[in-house]
């Protein structure tokens, strides 16, 4: 029998498996992710407006403290076990924004706390953060090179 040929038993099992496979509600999941992600962004916008109104931040300087507060809130909610329940409903809507980054970092820290603070918490928490930082810096570098080339060629001003 050739490597890619499927036996009749395998075909029967694949048909059996396909009949019993749970159908995923893709459209509903996309809508949930859209609305929960939008809600997180709305909360971020409210935090930004709070900083601009009460702490005299400008539109250019309010981004970093807003992101820090969103990450802090998601870490607190993860620590109290609330964020995981939100994520079960929200799906990618809670994982894609920066709050998902905070959740992933603190989840790794909580999971490995029995291994000690340095090797357990610190070592595993920053495995994720390190890759995010590396790819973020590399992406920013590539985009800046492209922008510099486009400015030099006069394509953008």
Task: Please write the tens of the pLDDT for every residue from 16-48.
Answer: 888 888 888 999 999 999 999 999 999 999 999
Whole-angstrom CA distances from 144 to 27, 56, 110, 139, 149 are 36, 30, 37, 9, 9
- 1: pLDDT strictly greater than 60: no
Complete DSSP assignment for 129-142: HHHHHHHHHHHHHH
- CA dist 41 and 6 (Å) reads 49
pLDDT of 138 higher than 90? yes
pLDDT tier for residue 2 given thresholds of 50, 70 and 90: low
């Amino acid at each position: 029998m050739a490597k890619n040929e499927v036996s009749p038993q395998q075909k029967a099992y694949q048909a059996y498996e396909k009949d019993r496979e749970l159908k995923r509600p893709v459209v509903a999941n996309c809508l949930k992710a859209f609305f929960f992600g939008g809600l997180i962004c709305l909360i971020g916008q409210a935090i930004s407006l709070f900083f601009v109104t009460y702490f005299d931040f400008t539109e250019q300087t309010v981004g970093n403290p807003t992101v820090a507060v969103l990450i802090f809130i998601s870490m607190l909610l993860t620590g109290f076990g609330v964020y995981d329940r939100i994520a079960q409903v929200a799906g990618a809507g809670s994982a894609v924004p920066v709050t998902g980054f905070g959740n992933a970092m603190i989840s790794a820290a909580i999971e490995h706390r029995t291994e000690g603070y340095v090797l357990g918490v610190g070592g595993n928490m920053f495995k994720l953060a390190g890759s995010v930082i590396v790819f973020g810096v590399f992406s920013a570098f590539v985009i800046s090179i492209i922008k510099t080339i486009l400015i030099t060629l006069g394509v953008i001003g």
